Amino acid sequence: MFERYTDNARDVMSRARQEAQKFGHDHIGTEHILLGLIEVKAGVAAEILSHRAVDLRHTKAQVEKLVKHGDCEAMAHGTLPRTKHAQHVLDDAVKEARQFKHNYIGTEHILLGLLYEKDCIATEVLANLGLKLDAVREDVLHFVEDGGKAVSAEN
């Protein structure tokens, strides 16, 4: 499934799985994908979220307020099923890449897909951190449209 994903996007999904396992969850949810997006520092999404002052420590604290730790002993290697919302994020990431006529799926596409899921833990976490989802989306769109130039300080 991840053959068109960039190395960074694959790393995001790998970290999402690791985060799910740390939480003792038997699934990958949007909150795990969000944490993965922040953790992969080389990705476009991490740059944009960092610009918006989103960091791993505060994000993880917000996730912990919203979800309980599970008691699942998930396999150390292998796949975990995705929640319905997490699958929608990945499906929307593919649609975003197509819309931009990109032949790859990068962290920017995953972040855009995440921002479409209005009723999920990840967007609730971002809102609790004081982010306006539309402003983050605009940051991503400007980044992509400007050919990958860094997010400007005035946004």
Sign of CA dihedral 84, 127, 139, 50: negative
The Cα–Cα gap between 88 and 152 comes to 29
Whether the Cβ atoms of residue 99 and residue 108 lie closer than 8 Å to each other: no
pLDDT at 6 over 60: yes
The Cα–Cα gap between 21 and 17 comes to 6
pLDDT at 44 over 50: yes
Reference 143, options 43, 13, 36; nearest CA is 43
Could you tell me the pLDDT band of residue 153, with boundaries at 50, 70 and 90? very low
The Cα–Cα gap between 26 and 36 comes to 16
Q: What is the mean pLDDT of residues 7-30?
A: 95
Q: What is the pTM of this model?
A: 0.89
The ranges assigned to domains in the chain are 7-145
Query: Lowest mean pLDDT: which of 46-50, 68-72, 96-100?
Result: 68-72
pLDDT at 76 over 80: no
Q: Which residue has the higher pLDDT, 4 or 68?
A: 4
Could you tell me the pLDDT band of residue 149, with boundaries at 50, 70 and 90? low
108-138 pLDDT tens trace: 999 999 999 988 999 999 999 999 999 999 9
Q: What is the mean pLDDT of residues 139-152?
A: 74
Homologous superfamily assigned to 7-145: Clp, N-terminal domain (1.10.1780.10)
Amino acid symbol at 74? A
